[in-house]
C-alpha cells in the first residue's frame, strides 16, 4: 500500500536549492541565511523576489526580516540553517528607489540593512501586518453571470442589483447608496446568483490619473518668486536651496512647483519639521489643489499611517506632507521633493538608525532624477556650503511677499538694570505700549517649567537628579521636581535635606514662572503659554493659537515651539528674554542654532499694515556674532561661521563621525573607546584626527556613565572606510558587546 505522504516532515534538503539571505532587524550589521519555508514547493520558491518580508526565528525570538537575495549560496552547512517560518508577501514591499535608498543609508550611516529596512516601513508592516488591506466586494457567481437577459424583472430591486453587478464588482457601500438592502442581497445569495469576496484594496480602486486642477487660483508671483519657479526644472536631478525670510512666499513657490508636477501626472513629497506640521499647513495644500493630500506625522495612529502608505504606494495620493520618516513613502511617480525649514534639527534621527532625512532626501532625488528644493529663512551651513561649492542652485527671496517690512531689531543691555522676573523695565514698557495699542506680544524663553533649579538660600544645596548629572527643574503645575533628561519626578522638599532650612528658592526663570509674572503685571490680557507642558497633543496648539488668531491683545510666552511654522500677523513685539544662553553653548553648532532660532522667532512678527519690532535682552551687548546678526543679518553670520569652520576643519568643511558608549560603571566606556582608538588609529594615518575619548558633557544620564570619541577628517571617503572598521571592531570586541554603543555619522550634537 502507498505510504501516506507526510506533509509536516522536512523535505529532504536539496543540496543545490538556493538559500534565502535575510536582512533581520537586529543591531548586528550582517545578513543571515535561511532555508526557504518548508511549505513552499521549488516552483513557488522560484517565483519569490527580493524585498518580500519573512518571519524567521532568530535566537529565541521571532523577527520579521526582508529577503534581499533568494538565490544565495551559504558559507554555513545547510544542516545548521533554519527554514524561514513564513513568507509574508507576494511581491517586494519596497519600490526599487526606496530599496536603493535603504542600501545607501545602511552603507553611509553604518547601520545594518535589516534595521534600516525595518525603520523604512510603517510600524504595522514591521510587525507583520499585510501590505494590502482586504475590502469586501459583491460580484456575480457563475450562475449569476449565466442569467438570461431580462431575468428577475419581477423583482425590481433584485434586477437593479443584477444590473449593477453586471457592470463589475461593487462595494457594500455602493449598494447601500443605491437603496439595496441586506435582505435583497441575501435573497440573491440564497439563489446562488451573487457572492461576497475579499479582495486587495489596492486592486479595488483603479489608480486613475490625478486631477491637477486648481481649486483656488495661484497668486501672481513677484519677480524673485517667478525666477525661483523658472529656475527649478520639471525633471532631472536639480538640488536647489531656496533662501527666503519668513513671509517671503516660499510656500507659494512650493505650491506652484507642485502644480506643474501634478499637471504632468506626477506626485510631490513635502518634508517638514516635527512641530512645524500643523493642520494649517495641510489646509493650504488642500485649499489649492483638487487632489488627495495626505499628512504623515508621529501623532497619527499606526493604522492611519499604514493607510496613507498604502494609498501612496498605488498612486492614489497627489501630495504627501510629513515629518522625517515620510521620506520613505513609496510614490510611484514621484516628481519633486520639498524640504521645508531644511535647517531644522528634527530631520536628524537621534536614536536607532541615526540618519538625516534632509540629506537622504537629496540622495533619493538624485536616484530618481528629480528636482529637490531645500527651503529656509536660515539655511544650515551645510546647505549654504553646498550652494557656494556649486552643488546646489542658490535662489533667494529677499522681500516679504505682499510688501511687509522686516521688523526692527534692537538690543537691550540688561547689565545692572532692575529686572522683574527676567524682564527689564524697557521691555515691560514696550509691552505695555503695544498692548495698549491693541496689539499682541510674543516672549521667547527657551526653558520650560517654573525654575531651572531649586537652591537652598541658607547653605547653597541644589536639587540634583539621582540618575543624571543634572539639576532638577521646578514645576508648579503639577507641583514637582522634574528631570528633563531622564524624566524622573520628585516631590519638592519642604526643607533643605542638607541644613534643614526652609529657605528654598527657585533659581532662574522658566516659561511657567514668566507666565505667572505676566498675569500679575497685565491682568487685563490673556497670557498664553506654549511649551511641551501646555501643548502635548497635536491640535492643542491649534486650539491655543485660535485665540491668538482672533487678533485680540494677548501675550504669548513660550519655547522654540513658537519659532516654527506659525505666523502671528498681529504680534508686533517679539522679545528674546535671554539671548545669552545659546551664544555660550559648548557645542560648535551652538552659535549657528541660536542665530537661526533668533531669526526665526523674530520673523514671526508683523505684516504689511504694522511693522514689527524685536527686543533682544543680553548681558553681552558687545558679543560679536550677536552684533553681526542684528546689524548685518543671518547671511553675514553664516559666512563668518563658515570661515571659522573652515579653519577648524569642522562640518561642513570637514566631516565627523561620533562614537558614543555608556556603561553602568564609571570609566568603563572611556577605557573601551581608548582601546578602540589604539587599535585603529594606525589605519587612517594623519588625515583623520581622533578627538577623545572623553566623558560626555553630561557624564551620568539615566544611571549610566557616558563617554564619546570623535573622528574628524577632510576626506569623507576615508572617514566612511574608517567608520566601517570602527563598527567591525566594536561588534567583535567582547567588552564593547557588554556595553551600549552607537555610531553617528554626521552627528548633530557633539
Per residue, the 3-state secondary structure of 519-556, as one string, reads HHHCCCCCEEEECCCCCCCCCHHHHHHHHHHCCCCCEE
- Paired sense of beta strands 238-244 and 393-397, if any: parallel
Q: Which does 252 bind (CB under 5 to 8 A by kind): ligand ADP, Zn ion, none?
A: ligand ADP
How many CB atoms within 10 Å of residue 85? 16
Q: Which does 703 bind (CB under 5 to 8 A by kind): Zn ion, ligand ADP, none?
A: none
Q: Is 269 helix (H, G, I), strand (E, B) or coil?
A: strand
Q: Give the Cα separation of 265 and 423 in Å (integer).
A: 55
Please name the residues in contact with 721: beta carbons below 8 A apart, sequence gap of 6 or more.
684
**Contact yes or no for 718/632 (Cβ under 8 A):** no
Among 29, 53, 250, 660, binds ligand ADP (CB under 6 A): 250
Q: Which does 750 bind (CB under 5 to 8 A by kind): ligand ADP, Zn ion, none?
A: none
- Nearest to ligand ADP of 316, 376 (CB atom): 376
Report in angstroms how near the CB of residue 298 gets to ligand ADP at its nearest: 23
Q: Which stretch binds ligand ADP (CB under 6 A): 19-27, 213-221, 505-513, 705-713?
A: 213-221
* Binding residues vs Zn ion (CB under 5 A): 456, 458-459, 461, 465, 467-468, 483, 485-486, 488, 496, 498-499, 501
- Nearest to Zn ion of 468, 577 (CB atom): 468
Among 89, 99, 252, 399, binds ligand ADP (CB under 6 A): 252
* Number of residues that make up the chain: 750
Q: Which does 235 bind (CB under 5 to 8 A by kind): ligand ADP, Zn ion, none?
A: none
Backbone angle region of 702, left / alpha / beta, with phi > 0 → left and psi within -120 to 50 → alpha: left
**Contact yes or no for 727/110 (Cβ under 8 A):** yes
Per residue, the 3-state secondary structure of 550-618, as one string, reads CCCCCEEEECHHHHCCCCCCCEEEEEECCCHHHHCCCCCCHHHHHHHHHHHHHCCCCCCCCCCEEEEEE
Among 144, 247, 449, 565, binds ligand ADP (CB under 6 A): 247
* Residue 600 touching ligand ADP (CB under 6 A): no
Is 653 known to sit in a ligand binding site? no
- Nearest to Zn ion of 410, 498 (CB atom): 498
* Residue 408 touching ligand ADP (CB under 6 A): no
Please name the residues in contact with 340: beta carbons below 8 A apart, sequence gap of 6 or more.
250, 251, 254, 270, 271, 272, 273, 276, 375, 376
Among 192, 279, 402, 438, binds ligand ADP (CB under 6 A): 402
Report in angstroms how near the CB of residue 579 gets to ligand ADP at its nearest: 23
Report in angstroms how near the CB of residue 438 gets to ligand ADP at its nearest: 21
Annotate each residue in 79-118 with x if it binds ligand ADP (CB under 6 A) or - if it does not, as one string.
Answer: ----------------------------------------
Q: Which stretch binds ligand ADP (CB under 6 A): 171-179, 242-250, 356-364, 443-451?
A: 242-250
Beta strands in 59-101 (DSSP E): 61-72, 86-87
**Contact yes or no for 688/472 (Cβ under 8 A):** no
Report in angstroms how near the CB of residue 287 gets to Zn ion at its nearest: 45
Among 95, 110, 240, 248, binds ligand ADP (CB under 6 A): 248
Q: What is the longest distance spanned by two Cα atoms in the chain?
A: 106
Report in angstroms how near the CB of residue 249 gets to ligand ADP at its nearest: 3
Would you state the cell numbers that stand for residue 165, as one nine-digit string? 453587478
Among 249, 273, 506, 747, binds ligand ADP (CB under 6 A): 249
- Nearest to Zn ion of 456, 625 (CB atom): 456
Report in angstroms how near the CB of residue 599 gets to ligand ADP at its nearest: 12
* Residue 401 touching ligand ADP (CB under 6 A): yes
Residue 326 pairs with which residues in a beta bridge?
A: none
Nearest of 450, 188, 418, 100 to residue 426 by alpha carbon: 418
Distance of CA 265 to the CA centre of its chain: 27
- Paired sense of beta strands 194-200 and 134-140, if any: antiparallel
Is 499 known to sit in a ligand binding site? yes
- Nearest to Zn ion of 683, 698 (CB atom): 698
Distance of CA 746 to the CA centre of its chain: 17
* Residue 565 touching ligand ADP (CB under 6 A): no
Q: Which stretch binds ligand ADP (CB under 6 A): 62-70, 198-206, 219-227, 439-447?
A: 219-227
Burial class (CB within 10 angstroms; exposed 0-12, middle 13-18, buried 19+) of 9 = exposed
* Residue 279 touching ligand ADP (CB under 6 A): no
Q: Give the Cα separation of 399 and 66 in Å (integer).
A: 50
Q: Which does 608 bind (CB under 5 to 8 A by kind): ligand ADP, Zn ion, none?
A: none
Burial 566-578, CB ≥16 within 10 A → b, else e: bebbbbbbbbbbb
Report in angstroms how near the CB of residue 251 gets to ligand ADP at its nearest: 3
From residue 442, give the alpha-carbon distance in Å to each of 84, 166, 405, 612. Answer: 59, 64, 18, 11
How many CB atoms within 10 Å of residue 610? 17
**Contact yes or no for 34/83 (Cβ under 8 A):** yes
- Nearest to ligand ADP of 37, 249 (CB atom): 249
Matching residue, cell 535603504: 102
- Nearest to ligand ADP of 222, 671 (CB atom): 222
From residue 133, give the alpha-carbon distance in Å to each of 2, 319, 709, 747. Answer: 43, 21, 47, 39
* Residue 671 touching ligand ADP (CB under 6 A): no
Q: Which stretch binds ligand ADP (CB under 6 A): 45-53, 207-215, 249-257, 488-496?
A: 249-257
- Nearest to ligand ADP of 21, 250 (CB atom): 250
Q: Give the Cα separation of 393 and 381 in Å (integer).
A: 15
Report in angstroms how near the CB of residue 32 gets to ligand ADP at its nearest: 47
Report in angstroms how near the CB of residue 219 gets to ligand ADP at its nearest: 4
Nearest of 100, 363, 729, 114 to residue 721 by alpha carbon: 729
Q: Which stretch binds ligand ADP (CB under 6 A): 215-223, 306-314, 385-393, 545-553?
A: 215-223
Q: Which stretch binds ligand ADP (CB under 6 A): 241-249, 313-321, 427-435, 646-654?
A: 241-249
**Contact yes or no for 740/104 (Cβ under 8 A):** no
- Residue 695: CA atoms inside 13 Å, Cβ hemisphere, count? 11
* Residue 451 touching ligand ADP (CB under 6 A): no
* Residue 246 touching ligand ADP (CB under 6 A): yes
- Nearest to Zn ion of 482, 566 (CB atom): 482
Nearest of 311, 302, 349, 343 to residue 330 by alpha carbon: 311
SS3 content of the chain, % helix, strand, coil (to 5): 35, 25, 40
Q: Which stretch binds ligand ADP (CB under 6 A): 217-225, 268-276, 385-393, 710-718?
A: 217-225
* Residue 396 touching ligand ADP (CB under 6 A): no
- Nearest to ligand ADP of 412, 561 (CB atom): 561
* Residue 225 touching ligand ADP (CB under 6 A): yes
Is 483 known to sit in a ligand binding site? yes
Report in angstroms how near the CB of residue 474 gets to Zn ion at its nearest: 14
- Nearest to ligand ADP of 99, 252 (CB atom): 252
- Nearest to ligand ADP of 250, 475 (CB atom): 250
- Nearest to ligand ADP of 96, 219 (CB atom): 219
Q: Which does 486 bind (CB under 5 to 8 A by kind): Zn ion, ligand ADP, none?
A: Zn ion
Per the annotation, where are the binding residues for Zn(2+)? 456, 459, 465, 468, 483, 486, 496, 499
Positions at the binding site: 456, 459, 465, 468, 483, 486, 496, 499
- Interacting residues toward ligand ADP by CB under 6 A: 219-222, 225, 244, 246-252, 401-402
Amino acid at each position: 500500500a502507498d505510504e501516506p505522504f507526510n506533509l509536516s516532515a522536512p523535505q529532504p534538503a536539496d543540496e543545490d536549492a538556493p538559500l534565502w539571505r535575510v536582512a533581520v532587524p537586529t543591531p548586528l550589521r550582517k545578513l543571515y541565511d535561511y532555508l526557504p519555508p518548508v511549505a513552499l514547493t521549488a516552483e513557488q520558491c522560484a517565483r519569490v523576489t527580493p524585498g518580500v518580508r519573512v518571519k524567521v526565528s532568530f535566537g529565541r525570538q521571532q523577527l520579521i526580516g526582508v529577503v534581499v537575495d533568494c538565490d544565495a549560496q551559504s558559507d554555513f552547512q545547510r544542516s545548521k540553517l533554519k527554514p524561514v517560518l513564513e513568507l509574508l508577501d507576494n511581491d517586494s514591499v519596497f519600490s526599487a528607489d526606496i530599496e536603493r535608498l535603504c542600501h545607501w543609508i545602511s552603507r553611509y550611516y553604518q547601520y545594518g540593512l535589516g534595521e534600516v529596512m525595518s525603520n523604512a516601513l510603517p510600524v504595522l508592516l514591521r510587525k507583520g501586518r499585510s501590505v494590502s488591506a482586504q475590502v469586501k466586494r459583491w460580484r456575480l457567481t457563475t450562475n449569476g453571470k449565466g442569467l438570461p437577459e431580462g431575468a428577475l424583472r419581477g423583482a425590481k430591486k433584485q434586477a437593479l442589483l443584477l444590473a449593477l453587478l453586471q457592470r463589475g464588482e461593487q462595494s457594500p457601500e455602493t449598494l447601500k447608496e443605491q437603496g439595496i438592502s441586506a435582505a435583497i442581497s441575501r435573497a440573491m445569495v440564497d439563489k446562488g446568483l451573487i457572492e461576497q469576496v475579499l479582495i486587495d484594496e489596492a486592486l479595488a480602486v483603479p489608480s486613475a490619473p490625478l486631477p491637477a486642477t486648481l481649486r483656488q487660483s495661484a497668486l501672481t508671483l513677484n519677480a524673485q518668486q517667478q525666477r525661483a519657479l523658472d529656475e527649478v526644472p520639471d525633471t532631472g536631478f536639480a538640488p536647489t536651496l531656496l533662501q527666503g525670510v519668513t513671509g517671503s512666499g516660499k510656500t507659494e513657490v512650493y505650491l506652484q512647483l507642485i502644480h506643474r508636477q501634478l499637471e504632468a501626472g506626477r506626485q510631490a513629497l513635502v518634508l517638514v519639521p516635527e512641530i512645524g506640521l500643523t493642520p494649517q499647513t495641510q489646509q493650504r495644500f488642500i485649499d489649492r489643489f483638487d487632489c488627495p493630500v495626505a499628512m504623515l506625522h508621529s501623532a497619527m495612529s499606526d493604522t492611519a499611517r499604514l493607510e496613507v502608505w498604502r494609498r501612496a504606494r498605488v498612486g492614489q495620493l497627489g501630495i504627501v506632507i510629513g515629518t522625517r520618516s515620510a521620506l520613505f513613502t513609496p510614490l510611484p511617480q514621484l516628481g519633486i521633493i520639498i524640504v521645508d525649514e531644511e535647517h531644522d534639527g528634527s530631520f536628524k534621527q537621534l536614536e536607532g538608525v541615526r540618519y538625516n532625512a534632509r540629506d537622504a532626501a537629496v540622495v533619493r532625488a538624485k536616484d530618481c532624477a528629480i528636482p529637490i528644493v531645500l527651503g529656509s529663512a536660515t539655511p544650515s551651513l551645510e546647505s549654504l556650503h553646498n550652494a557656494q561649492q556649486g552643488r546646489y542652485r542658490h535662489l533667494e527671496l529677499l522681500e516679504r511677499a505682499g510688501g511687509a517690512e522686516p521688523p526692527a531689531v534692537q538690543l537691550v543691555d540688561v547689565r545692572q538694570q532692575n529686572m522683574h522676573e527676567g524682564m527689564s523695565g524697557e521691555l515691560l514698557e514696550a509691552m505695555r505700549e503695544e498692548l495698549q495699542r491693541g496689539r499682541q506680544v510674543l516672549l521667547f524663553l527657551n526653558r520650560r517649567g517654573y525654575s531651572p533649579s531649586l537652591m537652598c538660600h541658607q547653605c547653597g544645596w541644589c536639587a540634583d537628579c539621582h540618575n543624571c548629572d543634572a539639576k532638577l527643574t521646578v514645576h508648579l503645575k503639577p507641583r514637582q521636581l522634574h528631570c528633563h533628561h531622564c524624566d524622573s519626578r520628585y516631590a519638592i522638599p519642604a526643607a533643605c535635606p542638607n541644613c534643614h532650612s526652609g529657605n528654598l528658592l527657585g533659581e532662574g526663570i522658566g516659561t511657567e514662572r514668566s507666565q505667572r509674572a505676566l498675569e500679575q503685571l497685565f491682568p487685563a490680557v490673556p497670557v498664553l503659554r506654549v511649551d511641551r507642558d501646555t501643548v502635548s497633543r497635536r491640535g492643542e496648539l491649534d486650539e491655543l493659537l485660535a485665540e491668538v488668531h482672533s487678533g485680540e491683545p494677548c501675550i504669548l510666552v513660550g519655547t522654540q515651539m513658537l519659532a516654527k511654522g506659525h505666523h502671528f500677523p498681529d504680534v508686533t513685539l517679539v522679545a528674546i528674554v535671554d539671548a545669552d544662553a545659546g551664544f555660550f553653548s559648548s557645542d560648535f553648532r551652538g552659535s549657528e542654532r541660536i542665530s537661526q532660532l533668533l531669526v526665526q522667532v523674530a520673523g514671526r512678527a508683523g505684516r504689511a499694515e504694522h511693522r514689527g519690532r524685536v527686543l533682544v535682552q543680553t548681558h553681552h551687548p558687545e558679543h560679536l556674532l550677536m552684533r553681526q546678526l542684528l546689524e548685518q543679518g543671518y547671511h553675514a553670520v553664516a559666512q563668518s561661521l563658515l570661515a571659522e569652520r573652515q579653519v577648524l576643519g569642522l562640518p561642513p568643511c570637514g566631516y565627523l563621525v561620533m562614537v558614543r558608549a555608556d556603561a553602568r560603571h564609571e570609566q568603563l566606556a572611556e577605557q573601551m573607546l581608548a582601546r578602540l582608538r589604539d587599535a585603529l588609529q594606525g589605519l587612517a594615518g594623519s588625515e583623520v584626527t581622533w578627538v577623545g575619548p572623553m566623558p560626555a558633557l553630561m557624564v551620568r544620564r539615566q544611571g549610566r556613565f557616558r563617554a564619546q570619541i570623535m573622528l574628524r577628517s577632510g576626506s569623507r571617503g576615508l572617514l566612511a572606510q574608517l567608520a566601517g572598521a570602527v563598527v567591525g571592531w566594536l561588534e567583535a570586541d567582547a567588552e564593547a558587546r557588554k556595553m551600549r554603543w552607537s555610531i553617528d555619522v554626521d552627528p548633530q550634537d557633539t
